[in-house]
A and B are shown apart, each in its own frame.
Chain A
Amino acid sequence: MQTNELAASLTSRFDSRILGVDGFPGLLGRVRFEPAIALDLFRTFRDDLGFSHLTMVGGIDWVDHREVFYALWSDADRVYVMLSANLPAEAPSIASAVPIWPSANAHERETWDLVGIRFEGHPDLRRIFMPEGYAYHPLLRSFKIFEPEDLEVKVRSE
């Protein structure tokens, strides 16, 4: 399958809710989609296009919005494809992929923990690395790891 074939088959099914299929060297492409069609799109990729492996889920904080991305692998075509959706910066959320790929469970917990994206319908959306009750999502740009004014400089007096 080629990138343009993938774009044609997706747009015939989802019309303008597929925002674009970009080329990505080494991958089948990068599909940008409306978050509303997430579950239908995932089901299409697994059942009709043969992408049986969910490899990666992650999020990016672009400050004015957040991006969630998925990497899928097809055994038949031996190729990866990247899916990507933009979410609002205020209370970002998207449908969980756990009903389609059970392996999404740990990936989505990690994305919620670090980037603060909620996955609706996830069976067990808790933090995975940070302690429960932690106030921050550390991979947000607003979370600073190093504030020079916080450093306490100790000078030894002789």
Chain B
Amino acid sequence: MWVNMGPQHPMTHGLWNLRVRIEGEIIKDVEPELGFLHRGIEKISEDRHYNEIITLMDRTCYVAGLAWEHLFILAAEQALHITPPERSEYIRVLASELQRIASHMMWYAAFVQDLGLMSPFLYGMRDRDLVLDLFQSFTGGRLTYEYMRVGGVRNDLPLGFTGQCRRVLDWLIDRFVEYDHLCLASTIFHERCDGLGVLPAPEAVAYGVTGPMLRSAGSHRDLRKDRPYSVYDRLQFDVATATSADVTGRYLVRMEEMRQSVRISRQCLDWLDDHPGPVLAAQLPRWLGAPYAPVGNESYLLKRNYPTGLGFSMIEEPHGEAGAYVVNDGGEHPYRVKFRSPVLINVWAAKRYLPGYRVADIPPIMGSVDVCVGECDR
């Protein structure tokens, strides 16, 4: 019998549908149905200036907007042959790591609530707001930031930001201990999570699964180490791993990643305190900041005499490995932008890691995937 879980099901955390074939209580086959949130972001990008696409990146993944801005900016700068100032790279890494903490806290709050534990939800949302306050202080936005720019970032950090950020990080690192007390000491948590959704590393690689799901199977794959982008090669941190390859393992990996993000953020803050400087490249093509073309001015839109180029970037986004491929054919708009969404592949692999478990196990297993439908459907 086929059962629809979604598109309006508390388990889905967004608009998607998981069709499940069951025999009694046992899952025999699953079929994710996607596309409910497809907004055509790749298509819209073809009609926009590079800096205007950053607005779309915040909407691509609405819990990790800064990470997706970072991804697109890296590819766009390669395609346009632009080098950003060093200080802006540190600010981008700081923003990405704070975003990772905020995203993982959102996951923690939603996931643990699925298990029936209500207080962690309130704790996670409360502490995530502190990170959002930090975002508001230097980007002006709490969810959609429009902060990064081709060639740097929009503005420098405000006065006194580093001190306030350190205070928040000191507060958070103590809260992570509380989170672990709330979950790992709970019998309900272990009974609902241990040994579920097991996906060993070789199969995870074959099915394209990345991010915390892959690292929970003992793999040390982390693009920040394997292929450092921005300034990650100058920062000290460890790759968070677990060995159980199940839901509990993914919980442990994400908790450790938040601690490592705090560590990276502190190093960035120290560097930023000592190295003032510009945050936006001085020599930028004038048309990068061009306003919308006046209606009817076709020659403006069809201008094709700038240097061409290809840009390819991969980053370790909170959900997994995100990628961007930008084809610059010399126009003011990119000819083609292609994004790789980690969530799309992680969800699709449910065909491998869901069958064999029971229907009541679906919320914890799919919760541990950390589904963000916005980036999945784009």
Contact = CB atoms under 8 A, between A and B. Distances in A.
Interface stretch (B37-45, B184-192, B261-269, B273-281): B37-45
B335 interface: yes
Contact of A58 (B325, B344, B377): B325
A142 B136 CA distance: 41
A106 B348 CA distance: 7
Counting contact residues on chain A (CB < 8 A from B), the size range is 35 or more
Given A52-B205, A55-B314, A80-B314, A129 B35 contact: yes
Contacts, number: 82
A25 interface: yes
Contact of A56 (B43, B227, B325, B327): B325
Contacts of B38: 129-130
B338 A58 contact: yes
B321 A55 contact: yes
B43 A138 contact: yes
Given A80-B227, A80-B312, A54 B208 contact: yes
A79 B336 CA distance: 23
Contacts of A54: 208
Nearest to A105: B348
Contacts of A130: 35, 38
B106 interface: no
B207 A102 contact: yes
A30 B310 contact: yes
B5 to A, nearest CB: 18
A102 B349 CA distance: 10
A53 B338 CA distance: 18
B317 to A, nearest CB: 13
Interface in A72-101: 75, 78-80, 82, 101
A50 B209 CA distance: 18
Contacts of A52: 205
A51 to B, nearest CB: 11
A128 B44 CA distance: 19
Nearest to A75: B221
Given A80-B312, A103-B207, A106-B345, A129 B327 contact: no
A45 interface: no
Contacts of A78: 226-227
A79 B325 CA distance: 16
B162 interface: no
Interface in B319-346: 321, 323, 325, 327, 335-336, 338, 340, 344-345
Given A58-B325, A60-B327, A114-B42, A26 B78 contact: yes
Contacts of A25: 78
Contacts of B325: 56, 58, 69, 71
Contacts of A133: none
A6 interface: no
Contacts of A56: 323, 325, 338, 340
Interface in B168-196: none
A107 B221 CA distance: 21
A55 B323 contact: yes
B278 to A, nearest CB: 24
A3 to B, nearest CB: 14
A82 B208 contact: no
B116 to A, nearest CB: 31
Nearest to A25: B78
Contacts of A75: 221
**7 interchain residue pairs of minimum CB distance:** A103-B208, A129-B35, A58-B338, A106-B348, A129-B38, A56-B340, A60-B336
Interface of B: 34-35, 38, 40, 42-44, 47, 78, 205-209, 221, 226-227, 295, 310, 312, 314, 321, 323, 325, 327, 335-336, 338, 340, 344-345, 348-349, 377
20 contacts: A24-B310, A30-B310, A53-B205, A55-B208, A55-B321, A69-B338, A78-B227, A103-B345, A106-B345, A110-B344, A114-B42, A127-B35, A128-B34, A130-B35, A130-B38, A138-B40, A143-B43, A145-B40, A145-B47, A148-B295
Given A54-B208, A103-B208, A138-B43, 20 more contacts: A25-B78, A26-B78, A56-B323, A56-B325, A56-B338, A71-B325, A71-B340, A80-B314, A106-B344, A107-B208, A128-B34, A129-B34, A129-B35, A129-B38, A129-B377, A130-B35, A130-B38, A139-B336, A145-B44, A145-B47
